[in-house]
Amino acid sequence: MQTQPCRLLCLFLAVMTLCTVCGTAQEKQAESCLSPFLKQIILEVAKATDETNREQTVAAFSAVLRQQSLPLLEGNLVTFVWLAEQKPLPSAVEVFGDFTGWQQRCKMQQIAGCGIYFYTLTDVPQSARIEYKFSVAGQDMLDSANAQKIDNGIGGENSVLAMPGYKPLTIVADKDTPSGTVTSVELKSEIMQNSRAVHVYTPAGYDTAAAQKYPVLYIHDGTQYLRRTQITAICDHLMYKGRIAKIIMVFVDPVDRQKEYAGDAGYTRFVLEELLPFVRKNYHASELPSENAVMGASMGGHISLHLCFTHPEVFGMMASQSGAFAFINKDILDNLQNAERKTIRIYMDIGLYDLVGEDGSLLQDNRNVEKILQAKRYDYFYQEFSGGHSWTSWRDQLVNVLEFLFKK
């Protein structure tokens, strides 16, 4: 649980007696400070009559802050706080993360030359989940005052801020829910002259003699989806509850991700001429376009749209999570706009705090694609969530993905 403002103010009052009254120029910093709690700290430090009194005041407030679960949450304000452990104090402390697109680094203010540094975000949605890091004297590090952290694929391990209204996807384990089976192979490719891991999920009760073949979902960055998103448990749950049809899932790993997911012709041939024949030969898999979907995250979203758009006779559905479209292929928007409408169904989700690059943001990129889909009257689902470019964000949307593609 994050700190509540009322608790902060109570702790603040407990150290007020250590401060003496005297005005200083630090009132200007207080005026610009957006956090009500830190504003009071700045003013009280400014009232210190001498160095000893100032150090006592700073030490008292630092002790209060160290008792909190940081960052500070005050309504829709989020204030990141860095507390220096020892002298000499760092000349520069920065914070960055989902809210900067992992590009820009925001310089934190320092209170009255002491070891308290802060940076405040405004208008943060109550449902937001944000990953972040500090940079202290040029060294990136976690927030030592925040126990919430995760290795989520962007920048290694990150600290996590979850607003009070954030609701993670929770699949309640049911002892009666039957589990599917995952079989792993190393699939060799003559076309690509390489081999890659392929993991095939078959649902509980999978029957090779069933009259009707199973719909198939092909998933890029397959091992990552398996390891980081609980997608098989989610699928088990939705099938057991009768919310989606029983499906096969094929998790495919990249070998040269940057090249393959940019729309490489060789990789497209591999999917169509080697991967699909392998699945259809060894599994009771449907060959109907309306029952074959492809999906992925980030660049995986781009290659999924590329495959579905260029081969609707094979893939009748696709899903993109934080798709990197124009970032990867400058022509994709023109291709979508100018080509005749395809008979395909499209799912898209994107975070309000997603990646930012030199040529724009993934958020705007996805909004541009959605405008074209709307104008051309595609059958699609589009949503924005208050999160960033992370596996946790994508996991939280998987129920929507699976229900859009395979709802009974």
> Which of 247, 186, 256 lies closest to 219, judged by CA?
247
pLDDT for 26 equals 59
Q: For the ranges 24-33, 136-145, 161-170, 367-376, which has the lowest average pLDDT?
A: 24-33
* The one-letter amino acid at 171: I
- The span from the CA of 6 to the CA of 180, in Å, is 48
Q: For the ranges 47-56, 149-158, 280-289, which has the lowest average pLDDT?
A: 47-56
pLDDT for 395 equals 97
pLDDT for 161 equals 96
348 SS3 class:
strand
DSSP 4-43: PHHHHHHHHHHHGGG------TTHHHHHH---HHHHHHHH
CB 245 within 8 A of CB 154: no
Stronger pLDDT, 328 or 178, i.e. the higher one: 178
How far does CA 92 lie from the centroid of its chain? 28
- The span from the CA of 296 to the CA of 319, in Å, is 7
Compute CA distances 221 → 123, 166, 265, whole Å: 34, 26, 18
Tokens of 149: 């952290």
* The one-letter amino acid at 380: Y
**Beta 379-388 vs 345-353: how paired, if at all?**
parallel
State mean pLDDT over 290-317: 97
- The span from the CA of 333 to the CA of 327, in Å, is 11
pLDDT at 312 over 80: yes
The per-residue pLDDT for range 13-38, each reduced to its tens digit, is 444 433 333 344 556 777 777 888 88
DSSP-assigned letter for residue 73: E
CB neighbour class for 230 (10 Å; exposed up to 12, middle 13-18, buried from 19): middle
Q: For the ranges 11-25, 114-128, 331-345, 362-376, which has the lowest average pLDDT?
A: 11-25
pLDDT for 270 equals 98
pLDDT for 23 equals 45
pLDDT for 12 equals 45
Residue whose tokens read 């929770």: 170
Question: Of all residues in the chain, what percent carry a pLDDT higher than 70?
Answer: 92
Stronger pLDDT, 182 or 171, i.e. the higher one: 182
Provide the 10 A C-beta neighbour count for residue 331: 10
Four-residue CA torsion sign, 276, 280, 282, 285: positive
**Cis status of the peptide bond prior to 71, with omega within 30 of 0:** yes
67 SS3 class:
coil
pLDDT at 150 over 70: yes
Q: Which domains does the chain have, with CATH numbers?
A: 5-162 (2.60.40.10), 181-406 (3.40.50.1820)
Compute CA distances 292 → 5, 175, 285, 379, 382, whole Å: 51, 30, 9, 16, 20
Provide the 10 A C-beta neighbour count for residue 43: 18
pLDDT at 204 over 90: yes
State mean pLDDT over 391-396: 96
C-alpha atoms less than 13 angstroms from C-alpha of 242 in its C-beta half-sphere: 0
pLDDT for 25 equals 52
State mean pLDDT over 62-69: 80
- The span from the CA of 323 to the CA of 301, in Å, is 4
Band the pLDDT of 170: cuts 50, 70, 90.
confident
Which neighbouring-strand residues pair with 7?
Answer: none
- The span from the CA of 356 to the CA of 327, in Å, is 10
Tokens of 312: 């609707």
The per-residue pLDDT for range 221-279, each reduced to its tens digit, is 999 999 999 999 999 999 999 999 999 999 999 999 999 999 999 999 999 999 999 99
118 SS3 class:
strand
Band the pLDDT of 74: cuts 50, 70, 90.
very high
pTM of the entire structure?
0.90
Which neighbouring-strand residues pair with 219?
Answer: 251, 295
> Which of 178, 196, 129, 137 lies closest to 158, judged by CA?
129
> Which of 71, 76, 81 lies closest to 122, judged by CA?
76
pLDDT at 196 over 50: yes
Question: Of all residues in the chain, what percent carry a pLDDT higher than 90?
Answer: 71
Q: For the ranges 49-53, 232-236, 344-348, which has the lowest average pLDDT?
A: 49-53
pLDDT at 7 over 60: no
